[in-house]
Amino acid sequence: MEHPIILAIESSCDDTGAAVMAGGKILANIVAGQQVHEQYGGVVPELASRAHQQHLLPVVQAALQKAGISKNDLDAVAFTQGPGLLGSLLVGGMFAKSFALALDKPLIGVNHMRAHILAHFIEEPRPQFPFLCLTVSGGHTQLVVVRSPLEMDIIGQTQDDAAGEAFDKTAKLLGLPYPGGPRLDKLAQQGNPLRFPFPVNQMPGYDFSFSGVKTAVMYFLRQQTQQNPAFIEENLADLCASIQHTIIQTLMRQLRRAAAEYGLTNIAIAGGVAANSGLRAELQRLADELGWQVFIPAFQYCTDNAGMIAMTAHFQYEAGDFATQLASPDPRLKL
C-alpha cells in the first residue's frame, strides 16, 4: 500500500463525507446527503449539525471498509476546518480530533475552498501550474490564480450572492423546489437563452455581483404575472435558459478578462455549479475560440465531498503542515 494513508472528513455544510486516500489515490469516497432541508427551501444549520452527528460514524466506517483499510493503518486524519457552518464544522472537527487522539495519529486541518480547487489533482487530466480556477458553489464564487498546491491568490470574488445561490434563488422565484440549480439547468436545456434578456453585471476588476439579476428576474416576473397569471408556467424553459445564460455570461466575462490579463491558458472550474451543462458547454466553446485547456473535475469531486479534502491533506502531509488538538473550526477561514 502506498503512503501516506489518510482518512478525510468533510462536514462544512449539509453533506457528510469520508474518504480514504493512499499515496494520492482515492480508495473510497462516501457522501451522505441530508434530505431534511428540502422542506425548508434551504439548509437549516442546526438540523445540519444533528444530521452530521448521525451520519459521521457510518460514513467513516463505510469508507474504511470500502478501502479495505484498518484504522490502525492510517497515517493521518484530516478534516475540513472552514469555511462553512460553525455547528457542522464543529461536529466533523471534534470527530476527527477524537479519532486522531484515540489512534495517536497526526491531524490535518483543511481549507474547504482550497480543497475544491485541488480536487483537480485526484484524476487525470491535471492542470499545469500556474492556472486560473473559477470556483462556483452554493456559498462561494472566487477567481483564483493557483501557483502551486499551497500557493493561491484570490483575484476576484462575489460582492453579494454566490453563483449557486443566484441559481437557487432565481429557481425559487420560478417555483422550483430547493436546490433549484440542477432543476433550472435541466429545464434550460429545452429553452431559448436569448428570449428574455436580463442584465449581465459589469463589475470593475474581477469581482462578481448576482443581486442585480435576481432583482431583475423578480420584478420582471411580478410584472408579467400581473398580466398573465400563467406566465411562468407557459414560459418556464425559456425563463430558465435566459437566467442561466445571464449567470454564465456574468461568470465568463470576468474569467476571460482575467485569463487575458494574467496570460493563463490552463483554465479550471470547481464547485457544485461546475456541474451546470450550459457552463460546461460555454467553457468548451471558449476553449476552442481562445486556445484554452479547460479542466472540469468529475461530478462527484465537484460537489462537496471528502475526496477533495483528502487530496489537499495529502499535499499538506508532504509539506509537513499538521494541526494540533487545539485547532478550532473557522466559519470564515480565508483561502
CB of 113 to ligand KG4, least distance (A): 9
In angstroms, what is the minimal distance from the CB of 116 to Zn ion? 6
Whole-angstrom distance, CA of residue 33 vs CA of residue 12:
12
Q: What share of the chain is helix, strand, coil (3-state, %, to 5)?
A: 50, 20, 30
Residue 125, amino acid: P
Q: Is residue 161 classed exposed, middle or buried when 0-12, 13-18 and 19+ CB atoms within 10 A define those classes?
A: buried
Shortest gap between Cβ of 232 and ligand KG4 (angstroms)?
Answer: 19
Q: Which positions touch ligand KG4 (CB under 6 A)?
A: 13, 137-139, 164, 167-168, 179, 181-182, 185, 271-273, 275-276, 303-304
Number of residues that bind Zn ion (CB under 5 A): 2
The strand pair at 266-270 and 131-136 is best described as parallel
Rounded CA Rg of the chain: 20
Q: Which is nearer to ligand KG4, 8 or 76 (CB)?
A: 8
Question: Binding site for substrate, residues?
Answer: 135-139, 168, 181, 185, 276
Task: Tell me which of 34, 80, 81, 137 binds Zn ion, using CB under 5 A.
Answer: 137
Indicate the residue among 193 and 272 with the shorter CB distance to ligand KG4. 272
Q: In the complex, what is the shortest distance from the CB of residue 137 to Zn ion, in angstroms, rounded to a whole number?
A: 4
Q: Please, what sign has the CA dihedral across residues 27, 128, 140, 167?
A: negative
Round to whole Å and give the CA distance between 267 and 143. 11
Q: How far is the CB of 326 from Zn ion (least distance, A)?
A: 25
- C-alpha span between 9 and 15 (Å, rounded): 10
Residue number with CB closer to ligand KG4 (4 or 182): 182
CB nearer to ligand KG4: give 100 or 270: 270
Among the listed ranges 124-132, 200-208, 303-311, 323-331, the one in contact with Zn ion (CB under 5 A) is 303-311
In this structure, which amino acid lies at residue 68?
Answer: G
Q: Report the residue from 304, 307, 317, 329 that binds Zn ion according to the rule CB under 5 A.
A: 304
* Residue 87 touches which member of Zn ion, ligand KG4, none, C-beta under 5-8 Å by kind: none
- Which alpha helices (DSSP H) does 158-210 contain, by range? 163-173, 180-188
